Amino acid sequence: MSISVVIPAHNAAPWLAEAIASIVAQDVPARIIVVDDGSADDTAQVATRFAGVQVLRHDTPRGPSAARNSGARAATGDAVLFLDADDRLLPGALAHAAACMAAHPQAAFVYGAHRRVDAEWRPLTPPALERCEPDARLAFLRTNCVGMIATALFDRARLLEAGGFDEALRQCEDYDLFLRLALRWPVACHDHLMAEYRIHGTNASGDPARVLAAAWAVQQRHMPVDAEGQAAVARGRRGWARAYALAAWRSSGRETAGLSLARIAGQRWRMARLAPAASLIAAAVWAARRALPPAAFAKAKRRLTGTPEPGRANLGDMDRPTPISPNFGYDRGTPIDRFYIERFLDRHRPDIAGRVLEVGDAEYSQRFGGAAITRQDVLHAHAENPEATIVGDLGQPGLLPADAFDCLVLTQTLMLVWDMPDAAAELYRALKPGGVLLLTVPGTSSVDRGEWGANWFWSLTGSSVTRMFEPLFGAENMTVMVEGNVYAATCFLHGLAQEEVRTEWLEQADAAYPMVVTLRAVKAG
């Protein structure tokens, strides 16, 4: 895959060199195009210090949308990424984005996580990622899931077919593009930290009221006719009002460095006129933080957010030392972990084709691969299993034939193998060049009370899966995702079923509470 990186730059000389250097340092080579949008400083001269950088120039400033469109038209190859001149990419960004796009060839764009930093690149926030599964249309009607444009890698042909950025928009033009693309084509995301968004007091997106008004206007221009879509828009409007009102009433510190008191007051006044109810709450939070001692403010915040006082949490039906169901929820309906496992396999149906091996039985292969499978194998630990075509321990070297399978489907099984690194190597060896491993492993989970309990050795995180498989497949050929959150994990541990919990809450990912870790890995060659 060939990638072009476009940098729109207007009077960007103080920052541009760091942005370009972050692209040059990537593992994956990229063509770099700087679009000098009518700068009055030496932006173009900074760009030409780097060998191979192409510089385009607008004689007069036309705005970031026009600059990005000029760069996209001048780009070549399969994919394009847009990096603002005052931001930077992080190591491995292009490799992970390219791997995700290769895994989702129908996607109009793929995106990863970002974090906000101050002018000296000191982190202001932890990494942020808003997922778009399972329905990208509804997700983008609700909010701008991408958050920072440099985290998105676009299919260049689809970007141009959609008309690129709307040059009439001066705010939220990226959200407008994301939404237009998500309404026409699939979208995918990955967990890798792609880029840093630098806050330095002169950012174009620095006025919360202006950004909120622009975001609402974009939603309105794409207002759906169906009730589900309209509900997503309404939910997004409420959420954005709360978030941007709080931003307007931020206290002080690195995020407000460079802003005068008059400018801050003006932002708050505009926000109050635009979203009065949300502004009233934000102002009350700001005043309470300044007026109350820390302990008293924490107590008031708990009341405002509905968080119980210490010792006052109402555990309800979960106030018990035994689970509601001891059988993963099978006796109540569909286990919650299947929500993530089956969604993962459904996304990768095209991979389940040719000669396929599944561990345990062939249920998922047949459901998601079906007629595309030319030969089905089943690996099982016990010879008496009637479906088994291969019997043994996956940690046993040489158990599987080498370079034999187009796809390996391994769901919630690797934790039963004591020698996991040996099993990972065996899986890699068994794949044909170009073959795909579809793997899920448990993070937070109860241990089986039946036949597998004595062999339930491990629980894993996204980091452990990455570290185990990256030396074999390479980072550019892997997509690791962490699914679940505290709500999903709590309900799953108590054995509740999908049918009795809030699906929309299951969709929110929190890597601190991994329930299921998924891996799609392709054997190079």
Best CA proximity match to 78, nearest among 56, 116, 109, 54:
109
Instruction: Give the whole-number percent of the chain exceeding pLDDT 70.
Output: 96
pTM for the model stands at 0.65
**Across the chain, what does the average pLDDT equal?**
90
Q: What is the pLDDT of residue 270?
A: 87
- Each residue of 454-506: pLDDT tens digit? 899 999 998 899 999 999 998 888 888 889 999 999 999 999 999 999 988 89
Structural domains for the chain: 3-205 (3.90.550.10), 220-314 (no CATH), 337-522 (3.40.50.150)
- What is the per-residue pLDDT for 254? 43
335 vs 125, higher pLDDT: 335
What does the pLDDT read at residue 255? 46
CA 65 to chain centre: 24
Rg (CA), the chain: 25
pLDDT of the residue at 215: 92
pLDDT computed for residue 253 by the predictor: 43
Distance separating alpha carbons of residues 36 and 59, to the nearest angstrom: 9
Res. 370: pLDDT tops 70: yes
Lowest mean pLDDT across 34-48, 117-131, 184-198, 209-223: 117-131
Which residue in this structure is represented by tokens 């880029």?
195
| pLDDT value at residue 385 | 85
Residues forming beta bridges with residue 376, ordered by sequence position: 356
pLDDT at 206 over 90: no
The predicted-structure confidence for 254-310, as pLDDT tens digits, reads as follows 444 456 777 778 888 889 988 999 888 888 888 888 888 888 877 777 776 667 777
Please state, in angstroms and as integers, the Cα–Cα distance from residue 290 to each residue in 254, 283, 287, 298, following that order.
17, 11, 5, 12
